[in-house]
Amino acid sequence: MDKINNEKAAGGVETIAAASDDKQGNSNTRQTLRKAPQDDSSYSQRLRLLERLKVAPVDTITARRELDMMHPAARIQELKQRGNLIDTVRVGRTTDCGKVHRVALYVLLPGEGCDD
């Protein structure tokens, strides 16, 4: 990441000038999933997502595919409500079907937070 702009974008989301791609996503995700509970409860999903965010930023598509959660934005909101500082960045990502979508890239910022 080169520069963070704290201006609001059209969707009310903070933007970032240049976000680096996560090139180690799959191996990081595999390590995270080994540590975290595998059920589909909100608690388990938050735990998996937070552990993954501690390693590297995660986008919506990755969270759905590799962390097995259908609504990552809800888990992010819950993590924020628990005191975690998470920035949301809009990025373009290609789906498995080959289409590019604008999705959220979530970045855990340093600071106080809560694992649940």
Given a cut of 70, whether residue 99 has pLDDT beyond it is yes
* Nearest alpha carbon to residue 45 among 27, 33, 61: 33
- The confidence band for 36, taking pLDDT boundaries of 50, 70 and 90, is low
Give the model confidence (pLDDT) of 38-50 as tens digits: 778 999 999 999 9
Q: CA-CA distance, 104 to 95, in Å (whole number)?
A: 13
**Between these two residues, 111 and 30, which has the higher pLDDT value?**
111
pLDDT digits (tens, 9 = 90+) for 77-96: 999 999 999 999 999 999 98
Q: Can you give the pLDDT at residue 35?
A: 58
Contact 62, 33 (CB under 8 A): no
Instruction: List, in sequence order, every residue forming a beta bridge with 103; answer none if it has no partner.
Output: 91
Look up the pTM and report it. 0.67
Domain segments of the chain as ranges: 4-108
Rounded CA separation 107/52 (Å):
10
Classify residue 30 by its DSSP letter: H
CATH classification for the domain delimited by 4-108, as one of 1.10.10, 1.10.1220, 1.20.1440, 1.20.58: 1.10.10
Binned at pLDDT 50, 70 and 90, residue 33 comes out as low
